[in-house]
Amino acid sequence: MDAVEQAATKEAESSIDLLVIVLDTNPSQQFVRQSPQNLTQVLESIIAFGNAHLMQKAQNQLAVISCSHHSTDFLYPVPGRQVELRQIDGQYEAFSLVEKTVKQQLGNILMNAPRLSSPCESLLAGSMTMALCYISRLQRNVAAGAKMHSRILVVTGSNECASQYMTFMNVFFTAQKLGIVVDTCALDKTLSLLQQGCDITNGQFLKVTQLDGLLQYLLWVFLPAPQMRHKLVLPPPPKVDYRASCFCHRELIDIGYVCSVCLSVFCKYSPICTTCHTIFKTPGPLPIKPKKKKKVEKQM
């Protein structure tokens, strides 16, 4: 081992890895509607995965955020009083603390949740802003000299909602700026916005085809720290489509017109911007019109 590599290993050993799991607990997700048992299974996998992360290094830290249809809450850690703990079967206390707290908190949230009359979207982007606030606080408080690597893992089976586009983008750019990796584990559908986010922040996107093997997928793809992922054989990155969709018809376009004031995208030229009501100076299309008129005159 040469000196550079040795230094890198030493750095990796002393650094703190923070993993924030954003778990979608919305009951309108496809897999929950099929069978409520599935949510329990996903939760068990998440807890086991979280504990596996804590097990890797003594300094590692974990946070779990639940994103439900009515609110976003921290499942672990919870400020204030700790859950009462007794050692069970010789299990390391920190692990049973994670398990107990997460289950108890999620239980409270689900019991207090308002009844859901119709399926509604999960505000995942909002939950990610909360995760970023939490990470930025921990990063501010890191002791001098110590390094902290943070990442966010989103586990969701929801459809993504275009109304959260702006928040998602703000989240991705903030994460990119702070060097936070965003990973996504999609349980149901391919999510193009989160795919873009993973690409922007160098994270990993994975669509799980079989829910039964969730823990295995998690341990295989998302457990290794991002710094050592290039040494592993992981699923190839999907081709991300970065085309903009126009504001007028919501279609993906190759060539479009962009308003110089508010940067709205249109697929056709229009004399007034529908978003900021700016009136444009007409460039190209006008000179063509008089020509046509002339032709008509001549014919007449």
Q: Which is nearer to other proteins, 10 or 249 (CB)?
A: 249
Closest CA to 76 of 91, 54, 58, 57: 54
**Closest separation in Å from C-beta 223 to other proteins:** 25
Considering just the CA atoms, what is the radius of gyration of the chain in Å? Answer: 25
Measured from the Cβ of residue 195, the count of other Cβ atoms closer than 10 Å reads 21
**Closest separation in Å from C-beta 220 to other proteins:** 26
**Closest separation in Å from C-beta 49 to other proteins:** 21
Q: Which is nearer to other proteins, 39 or 128 (CB)?
A: 128
Closest CA to 234 of 193, 202, 210: 202
> Under a CB-based contact definition with an 8 Å cutoff, are residues 65 and 127 in contact?
yes
Q: Which is nearer to other proteins, 56 or 282 (CB)?
A: 282
**Closest separation in Å from C-beta 272 to other proteins:** 10
Q: What is the C-alpha separation between 53 and 58, in angstroms, rounded?
A: 10
Distance separating the N- and C-terminal Cα atoms of the chain: 89
**Closest separation in Å from C-beta 233 to other proteins:** 19
3-class SS of residue 177: helix
Measured from the Cβ of residue 104, the count of other Cβ atoms closer than 10 Å reads 14
